[in-house]
């Protein structure tokens, strides 16, 4: 196993070779842990991400197309780990937000505030529904789901420039509808 490169190890993992997986883990987990720790100081999150990454590698090794695309196996592994880290940080932020909201002292809003909030919410909802579907999709992915332009581009299978253009057009249309 020592004479095989990482790409060959991934291909063997795709075939179900446990020894190849063990070797791939032995070679790549130390540097991956270091890279993850540079981006996240929480050792528990790093350990979870590392575990999720290698679980994903075991399950999806067959999707590695490095020999066809010219991509490296190490780059493929890092992409999986980076995506898992982003997901973990988003989950943690959502949980912290929920805890913060639960701890805030609740007071009854003034009747005027409730009426205005309802009206603004309804106006926004109507404005969103009037947007063309392609603009609404981009806005939902970027604003509501919190995805980057690149992630939205991959999700919706369109060029990044198109994502940016549609996001701008959607914001302009919403601004006009709400003014």
> Mean pLDDT throughout 134-143?
84
Q: Which among 171, 172, 152, 155 has a CA at the least distance from the CA of 163? A: 152
Whether the CB-CB separation of 35 and 27 falls below 8 Å is answered with no
Return the C-alpha torsion angle 33, 1, 60, 51, nearest 10.
-30
CA–CA gap between residue 77 and residue 84 (Å, rounded):
11
Q: In the predicted model, what is the mean pLDDT of residues 32-56?
A: 92
Please tell me whether residue 145 adopts helix, strand or coil conformation. coil
40 burial (CB, 10 Å; 0-12 / 13-18 / 19+) is middle
Residue 5's contacts (CB-CB under 8 Å, 6 or more residues apart) are: 73
Best CA proximity match to 48, nearest among 33, 35, 70, 58: 33
Q: What is the pLDDT of residue 55?
A: 93
Q: What is the pLDDT of residue 24?
A: 92
Rounded CA separation 84/51 (Å) = 10
Looking at per-residue pLDDT, the higher value among 179 and 170 belongs to 170
The predicted structure's pLDDT at residue 157: 86
Q: What is the pLDDT of residue 131?
A: 84
Query: What's the mean per-residue pLDDT of the chain?
Result: 82
Instruction: Report pLDDT for 110.
Output: 61
Residue 104 has pLDDT above 70, yes or no: no
Assign 63 a pLDDT band (cuts: 50, 70, 90).
Answer: confident
């Amino acid at each position: 196993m020592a004479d095989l490169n990482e790409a060959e190890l991934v291909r063997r993992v795709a075939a179900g070779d446990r020894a190849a997986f063990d070797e791939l883990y032995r070679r790549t987990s130390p540097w991956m842990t270091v890279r993850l720790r540079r981006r996240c100081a929480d050792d528990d999150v790093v350990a979870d991400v590392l575990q999720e990454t290698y679980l994903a590698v075991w399950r999806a090794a067959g999707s590695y197309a490095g020999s066809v695309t010219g991509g490296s196996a190490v780059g493929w592994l890092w992409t999986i780990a980076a995506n898992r880290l982003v997901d973990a940080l988003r989950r943690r932020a959502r949980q912290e937000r929920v805890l913060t909201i639960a701890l805030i002292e609740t007071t009854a809003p003034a009747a005027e505030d409730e009426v205005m909030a309802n009206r603004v919410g309804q106006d926004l909802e109507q404005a969103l529904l009037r947007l063309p579907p392609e603009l609404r999709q981009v806005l939902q992915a970027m604003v509501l789901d919190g995805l980057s332009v690149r992630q939205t581009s991959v999700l919706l299978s369109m060029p990044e420039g198109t994502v940016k253009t549609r996001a701008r057009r959607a914001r302009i249309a919403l601004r006009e509808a709400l003014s």
